[in-house]
Each structure stands twice: as structure tokens, then as C-alpha cells.
Homo-oligomer: A and B are copies of this chain.
Amino acid sequence: MPAPKHRSGCPVSVSLDYLGDRWSLLIIRDLMVRGYQTFKEFQQSGENIATNILSDRLQKLEAAGILTAKPAPEDLRRIHYRLTEKGVALAPVIYELLIWAGRHGKTGAPCAVIEHMARNREHVLAEVRRRWEQQDLTPILPTFKKEKHK
């Protein structure tokens, strides 16, 4: 799969050539903060992604060098997905989207949780990287219910 043709030289625009859709950053979130690594886990992640869209996005993200797809050590017929260095470098983007909607949107995240995370930016980002480096799959974030806070 070829890399996308860039619309301009602006880095924001180039980012969105890779990530500008409703799903790609959710798959990256699942890998980054939930410890998910299989197709089935992404599929059951709570947003009801369609199978064909999930396949397409995984292929695009792999082609972009954001994740790798490799046979699982314990069962070579299964594929495990993992973020690359380029992929885990998206942690600040995911973090800022989370803080923004937590403060300005109707989400399932209690304000206290969001403000705690906002006060501990460096700690949260360091913890994401540590878990990625050590392949520690413990979730950092719970899956928030669809209740209305704020």
C-alpha cells in the first residue's frame, strides 16, 4: 500500500494525511493505553468499528510505519499488532485530544480524572512510553462508560 500523497508541506496537514479520520487514532489509543494487540480486541473496543474499516486502517497504519503486525509468539497463526517508535510518539496527540474533550465535551470521564491527568502530563506520557518499551500491557485508562458528565 503506497504512502498517502501529501496535500501540502505543512506538518499539520501531513499528520492528517495519515490520521485524519474517525478511527485511526482510536486504534492507536487501544494499542497505547489499553494494552490491546489483536484484531478481535480492536473490534470489541466499544465504538463498533466495522470489520472492513478496521482491516483497512490497520493496513494503512502499518504502511505508514505507525504499527507493526507480527505473528504472536505463543500462536503463530495469530497476529499481534504493536506500535512502532513513530506510533508511540503520538502519545501527546492522544493525550491532548483526551484532555480537550474531557474539558469541553460530554464524555464518560469524570472531571476529576481529567484534571488529575492534566496536572500530571509528563508523568502520564512517561508511563505510556515505559509500558511500550517494556511491553507492559496493563491498561493506563479504564474504558469510560457513555454517561454524561459536565
- Where the two chains meet, the residues of A that have a C-beta atom closer than 8 Å to any C-beta of B are 6-23, 25-26, 29, 46-48, 65, 86, 89-90, 92-109, 114, 141, 143-147
Q: Would you give the shortest CB distance from A86 to chain B, in whole angstroms? A: 5
Q: Which of B12, B103, B143 contacts A94 (CB 8 A)?
A: B12
Q: How many copies does the complex hold?
A: 2
Do residues B93 and A8 form an inter-chain contact, with CB atoms below 8 A?
Answer: no
Alpha-carbon gap, A147 to B6, bound state (A) = 11
Do residues B107 and A9 form an inter-chain contact, with CB atoms below 8 A?
Answer: yes
Q: Which of B65, B89, B107 contacts A14 (CB 8 A)?
A: B107
Do residues B144 and A11 form an inter-chain contact, with CB atoms below 8 A?
Answer: yes
Q: Would you give the shortest CB distance from A24 to chain B, in whole angstroms? A: 8
Q: A7-B48, A147-B9 are in contact. Are A16 and B107 (CB under 8 A)?
A: no
Do residues A108 and B21 form an inter-chain contact, with CB atoms below 8 A?
Answer: no
Do residues B12 and A17 form an inter-chain contact, with CB atoms below 8 A?
Answer: no
Do residues A8 and B92 form an inter-chain contact, with CB atoms below 8 A?
Answer: no
Residues of B within 8 A of A89 (CB): 100, 103-104
Q: A12-B101, A109-B9, A109-B11 are in contact. Are A20 and B22 (CB under 8 A)?
A: yes
Which chain B residue has the least Cβ–Cβ distance from A33? B12
Do residues A10 and B104 form an inter-chain contact, with CB atoms below 8 A?
Answer: no
